Amino acid sequence: MEASTALMFLSAIAAYLIWFSLVTRSLKGPRVWPLLGSLPGLIQHANRMHDWIADNLRACGGTYQTCICALPFLARKQCLVTVTCDPKNLEHILKLRFDNYPKGPTWQSAFHDLLGEGIFNSDGDTWLFQRKTAALEFTTRTLRQAMARWVNRAIKHRFCPILAAAEKQKKSVDLQDLLLRLTFDNICGLAFGQDPQTLAEGLPENAFALSFDRATEATLQRFILPEMLWKLKRWLRLGMEVSLSRSLKHIDEYLSRIIKNRKLELVSGSGSGSGSGSGSHHDDLLSRFMRKKESYSDKFLQHVALNFILAGRDTSSVALSWFFWLCTKNPRVEDNILRELCTVLRSTRGDDISTWLEEPLVFEEVDSLVYLKAALSETLRLYPSVPQDSKHVVKDDVLPNGTFVPAGSSVTYSIYSVGRMKFIWGEDCLDFKPERWLSPQLQDSYKFVSFNAGPRLCLGKDLAYLQMKSIAASLLLRHRLSVTPGHRVEQKMSLTLFMKYGLIVNLYPRDLKPLLQTITPTTHPLH
């Protein structure tokens, strides 16, 4: 009996090793271990995961396949993950074979409790309907004007006073935290016309903001665990699943009140509903969807608001954090930005510098800041707010570089790695060089996918640049920054490229007079 058991055990091991050999024999990239797959490498390099992926892609020519978890009860295709940063592959996935690469069931399952079937968590007809509806709104000038009002109000009455006080008192500030609060207030105003005031004096806690943060963090935790495990934890009400459940309840109650009141206001035609003094009409996305002839459920309207908050809050604030940090390390770039700002403001507001600081920049001034936009784009090339994304493979396919991807497997494209490959951007790919964006030769859009690409290209791209340029200009005109001595700037390993310990900076007064003396009215800042 014992001999029979031992024989069965040895046979099982032999069968597994044969299966493992078949699964891994054609793989290149990080080492794949029996049972554990490439998990040991992921764990070992957890603190530098995006750079580790970039190292592997660099060694493999831009694409590799690996096995995350080599378990025999999973089919080969379920084990397989294709990782790529090749622009031709990205164009194939994001545009040419778009229908074959949806977000897929794993992503949708993890985000469903928070985002439902909203635009950023749906595929097929559900996604297409919302995309078309939202696209009509995002092309309107009135939405851009609404965004500008929310941004400029927050800059003038909250952001700048907080920075000025910190400079005067010689106190350090966590710039990443301030930017997160600023963009959260702005996106809530744009999404559903309510100002949570997280950037108000004293930086108060806001129940909705806290619930949203906890819900987002708990949702992201689901990507670390196998789907079966986090679903078991949800059923047993364990760990962060408890926090998620409570947070979702509060979010639901908060948005339900807003939707109920907004419907009554739209019917009666009363008030602005924003509590912001930003206008007497409803120009937020929620109200715009409510005015459509279609009758949307309250739950759908909630998901509309939450999807746009998730997309518009963290991405801009994180990009600005890396931008300001890069400016402190690249004074030449900062000087060029200031020269452009001085040139534009001199032509629109005259030589009196005090008038430059009275009001935030207006549309025409923001649009004229070509070099500043280039610097922000260069920041996103090196530090994309969303460093990677994944797709589900519906049908067997072959990528342009010859890699076969079977149906049921997944494809991860590393946006972070795209900007760090010599074969894509040249020998100076790791340099912070905004000038590369000023070339008359247009860049291949699939070399820069920080705003996605193809049919899912970010609808709010122009609004994001408007907000980031306005905030960057307001700070750099008034202050010099330096990172507090001893502060560590490191990446936080999450779906969004936060700084792990924030961005703690000291602020000093900016003297623009010496710079202004070197600029003639006809001088272009880059000539």
What would the pLDDT profile of 160-211 be if each residue is shown by its tens digit? 999 999 999 999 999 999 999 999 999 999 888 889 999 998 999 889 989 9
Beta strand 388-392 pairing with 410-414: antiparallel
Asked whether 501 and 527 are in contact (CB, 8 A), the reply is no
Please enumerate, by residue number, every residue annotated as part of a binding site.
Answer: 458
Mean pLDDT of the chain: 86
Q: Residue 276: its pLDDT value, please?
A: 42
Please enumerate, by residue number, every residue annotated as part of a binding site for heme.
Answer: 458
Helix (H) or strand (E) holding 191: helix 175-192
**Least confident piece of the model among 36-40, 271-275, 348-352:** 271-275
DSSP states along 308-373:
HHHHHSHHHHHHHHHHHHHHHH-HHHHHHHHHHHHHHHHHHH-S-HHHHTTS---HHHHHT-HHHH
Q: Residue 183: its pLDDT value, please?
A: 95
Q: Residue 274: its pLDDT value, please?
A: 43
pLDDT digits (tens, 9 = 90+) for 256-307: 998 888 888 888 776 544 444 444 467 788 888 888 766 788 888 888 888 8
DSSP states along 113-174:
HHHTT-GGG--HHHHHHHHHHHHHHHT-HHHHHHHHHHHHHHIIIIIHHHHHHHHHHT--EE
Arithmetic mean of pLDDT, 21-26: 65
Q: Which domains, ranges and CATH numbers included, belong to the chain? A: 2-96+388-416 (no CATH), 131-385+450-517 (1.10.630.10)
DSSP states along 401-439:
TS-EE-TT-EEEEEHHHHTT-HHHH-TTTTS--GGGGS-
Asked whether 224 and 49 are in contact (CB, 8 A), the reply is no
Q: Residue 163: its pLDDT value, please?
A: 97
Cα Rg, the chain, nearest whole Å? 25
What angle do helix axes 104-115 and 207-221 make, rounded to 10 degrees? Answer: 160
Q: Using pLDDT thresholds of 50, 70 and 90, give the confidence band for residue 526.
A: very low
User: Could you tell me which residue, 339 or 517, shows the higher pLDDT?
Assistant: 339
- Is pLDDT of 75 > 60? no
Nearest to 458 by CA among 86, 82, 194, 94: 94
Contacts of 117 (CB under 8 A, 6+ apart): 126, 303
Q: Residue 425: its pLDDT value, please?
A: 95
Q: Residue 423: its pLDDT value, please?
A: 95
